[in-house]
Amino acid sequence: MTLKITLCALVGSAFVLGACTDPTSIDNVASGDPYGSTKQGALIGALAGGGLAAAAGGKSSKVLLGTAIGAAAGGALGSQLDRQAAELRQQLANDGITITNTGSQLIVTLPQSITFATDSFTVRDGLRADLMRVAAHLQRYPNSDVQIIGHTDSTGAASYNQDLSERRARAVSSVLAQGGVPQGRLVTVGMGENQPVASNQTAEGKARNRRVEIVIIPHV
């Protein structure tokens, strides 16, 4: 009987919250719903909270409490992401920078064409001001982890691309640190040519693959 009530509570929560959100939307703010991540976070948090309570053998009242607590935590996380995404879009001057709100993290994508010269890992002077704005933003939201991930296309030796991606990630991280972000929050990763977002068979695809991503992962 308890199991049936638990399942009903979880399914009911999913339907109630699911009516408020589109879980297939990747960038909720850009899609026209400024509270999309808040709603999606509440849904995910509710299901996670209720599921954990159920897995622990909780009674229906405990499952409902877990669902409510999870919804509150997930909603707070989503609200923070929505707010950060909106602020970054307003603050960054370069149209080439994109901000993707996945519902659990923000990805600030810096195309190689505006960040580095060919085969270089020195950040262009024209981009430093925007990176300083990102650094100031990160200081206003200290409850987040930051990953800086370098990517290349498949041109040339894989070992060279791996090294270049690592150097570029460290270069962007260094500018953020100069802007006041504590080094302990910054993790750099080089992916080389291993995570393309487009085909390496075309010039356009290669250009999209050459990038550095600043991944902001909030926690509450």
pLDDT (tens digit per residue) in 38-55: 455 545 554 555 455 555
Asked whether residue 129 carries a pLDDT value surpassing 60, the answer given is yes
> What pLDDT is stored for residue 77 in this prediction?
81
Strand 98-101 to 106-111 pairing = antiparallel
Arithmetic mean of pLDDT, 25-49: 48
Least confident of 64-73, 119-128, 177-186, 207-216: 64-73
> What pLDDT is stored for residue 202 in this prediction?
97
Query: CB within 8 A of 17, min separation 6: which ones?
Result: 39, 42, 43, 46, 71
- Element containing residue 151 per DSSP (H, E): strand 144-151
Local confidence band at 128 (pLDDT 50, 70, 90 cut-offs): very high
Query: CB within 8 A of 166, min separation 6: which ones?
Result: 150, 188, 189, 190
Q: What is the mean pLDDT of the chain?
A: 79
Cβ atoms of 199 and 154 within 8 Å: the answer is no
DSSP 8-state class, residue 219: -
Three-class SS state of 215? strand
Arithmetic mean of pLDDT, 131-158: 97
Domains and CATH numbers, the chain: 77-218 (3.30.1330.60)
> What pLDDT is stored for residue 31 in this prediction?
44
Q: How many CB atoms lie within 10 A of CB 208?
A: 18
Asked whether residue 195 carries a pLDDT value surpassing 60, the answer given is yes
Asked whether residue 81 carries a pLDDT value surpassing 70, the answer given is yes
Nearest Cα neighbor of 27 from 19, 17, 37, 18 is 37
Least confident of 15-19, 129-133, 151-155, 182-186: 15-19
> What pLDDT is stored for residue 43 in this prediction?
52
Nearest Cα neighbor of 179 from 77, 85, 91 is 91
Q: Which two tokens stand for residue 109?
A: 């994508």
Cβ atoms of 63 and 50 within 8 Å: the answer is yes
> What pLDDT is stored for residue 79 in this prediction?
84
Nearest Cα neighbor of 206 from 214, 198, 194 is 198
Which of 10 and 44 is assigned the larger pLDDT?
Answer: 44
